[in-house]
Amino acid sequence: MTSFSIHGVGVSSGIAIGQAHLVSNALLEVVHYQLPNHLIDDEIERFSNAIKTVKYDLEQINHSLRKSAPAEISAFISTHLMMLEDKSLSEIPKDIIKNEQCNAEWAIKLQMDDIVDQFDQIEDEYLRERKQDVIQVVERIIKVLLGHPSQLPIEQQTSVVHQERKLILVAHDISPADAIQFKQHQFAAFITDVGGVTSHTAILARSLNIPSIVALQRARDLINDGELIIIDGDLGVVIVSPSKEILAEYKLRQEQWELEQQKLQLIKTTKAVTIDGTHIELFANIEVPDDTAAAKASGATGIGLYRTEFLFMNRREMPDEEEQFIAYKSVAEAMKGAVVTIRTLDLGADKQMNPDSIVNCANPALGLRAIRLCLSEPSIFHTQLRAILRASHFGNIKILIPMLSTLAELRQTKLLLERAKISLRQENIAFDEHIALGGMIEIPAAALSAEAFAKELDFMSIGTNDLIQYTLAIDRTDDTVAHLYNPLHPSVLKLISMTIKAGEKFGKSVSVCGEMAGDSKLTKLLIGMGLRQLSMHPSHVLSVKQQILHSQISQLNENARKILGLTDIEKIEPLIAKFNLH
């Protein structure tokens, strides 16, 4: 067999070597056929029974979850159960069966296609990717209709236990419910044809620390069941039928990677200080309250970004003030006085929690999102601000405002924050009167006006993911231009440098909380540019800390100046590689 490689998006690091285990893609097996009148009622009943079976399976999975399982897994499964209750999936296909006299599999697939088309019109990237939940639910229904088992049979489970660490799941897509079952059996890794860095599958992979790659396009078609494959989660590469030489090289790399992970644990309690004594704060990004456990286990000294939108997602109603307060308070208390930076709601134009209500927008990244949305919905914003303020009484909380582009937005935000404070004072509810207010610098306009923002903010945080996207006019979810998305573009580096200098001028702290912060290859550059706070996924904290411990500020500053003086990206990349050798 000829060896070949497939490139995708690595969403969880690590190296896995094992045999491919192809997961059935029921959607590809659906065929259309007509039914005579006298069989229509039986077909509708068959569909109803399939819905009941899927509900039962998901409920069983939910009940069997270990207490140590990440909290978002149960939330994902609950989302799928909620979708099964929705008439668009549970009732409309019955009408299609009746009206078109077609089989149940075809009816549910037609309805799914219609729903997915609606999701594709949603502006917000995170919400747009929720269409995968609909597809995953429909796939489970179709598997039942086709007579496929929804999980590994018990006898197969017991027979593969000793081999499962060598099996790599290959699928068109994997639902969170399926993935948690696979994790309980400790498979080596998983790869999928679809998905993005913000898909549920990617989020789940990172929380479970399974090496995985998504967006491989046709991996399931190209890879045969039982074929030997290598997964490089760092590079986002799958190597199929590797040669003896490649296999030997990757086995060595796998051993080295595992050894490096063990070594990194030795510096968990070591302070992140450079050779010449400069202290760097390493914070963690979290999405749900239970993520604080991973943040503390990583050695992070605080929470640099708590993405509160995950509390609002996958539900038909907004979380009320009490629910939000409990979530924020639990994070503050878990961190025991360490910094907790709570970012206010960062959703897109689809502000309605009802998934049946769709807002169309021609340019998804440029619409009513983040602070623009909050200012247009002051009652929603007021509720969140009150909840955050109440929680501030129980820990060291800061407020972070996303996607600021004008000082008018900031000043309006300050007025609403003061209004929330007044309402709490009137009710004699305690909160931190001096709570710090920060702003995300993630729009080029904000970076160009960084000094003006620094005067009025207590701190700034650079959101590099969006800053890169907006500066380079690249939709990072578009595969056709993804290769142009480059954090080392001279213009991006200049905007970051401008923001850092503005913070220095006015004595305001500046951090980076985008993907750049967790990329250890960029750590020395960022520190050399003057950053003293980095916030990242907990799994990246130790590798970044290791770079800091081997750094000397004077040398880093000189190297950073050289890089910032370059205008050719082709010259910057090799210099960065050289930078990291010292």
Task: Please say whether the beta carbons of 208 and 291 come within 8 A.
Answer: no
Q: Is 66 left (phi over 0), alpha (psi -120 to 50) or beta?
A: beta
Dihedral (CA of 569, 570, 571, 575) sign:
positive
DSSP letters, 492-507, are HHHHHHHHHHHHHHTT
The 8-class DSSP code of residue 427 comes to T
Phi and psi at residue 531, to the nearest 5°: -75, 140
| H or E element in which residue 435 lies | none
Tokens 């590099």 belong to which residue? 464
Fill in the amino acid letter for 558: E
Q: What's the start-to-end Cα distance of the chain, in Å?
A: 42
CA distance 199 to 499: 30
513 belongs to the catalytic site: yes
Helix, strand, or coil here: 529?
coil
Catalytic pick among 21, 80, 200, 540: 200
Q: Is 535 exposed, middle or buried (0-12, 13-18, 19+ CB in 10 A)?
A: buried
Tokens 């939108």 belong to which residue? 309
Buried b (16+ CB within 10 A) or exposed e, 33-55: eebeeeebeebbebbeebbebbb
Upper half-sphere CA count for residue 297 (Cβ side, 13 Å): 10
Q: Tokens for 519?
A: 């990329």
Helix, strand, or coil here: 304?
strand
Among the listed residues 113, 92, 223, the one whose alpha carbon sits nearest the alpha carbon of residue 168: 223
Task: Please say whether the beta carbons of 540 and 520 come within 8 A.
Answer: yes
Return the HEC string of 221-276.
HHCCCCCEEEEECCCCEEEECCCHHHHHHHHHHHHHHHHHHHHHHHHCCCCCECCC
CA distance 90 to 186: 33
Catalytic pick among 80, 513, 537, 540: 513
Catalytic residues: 200, 513
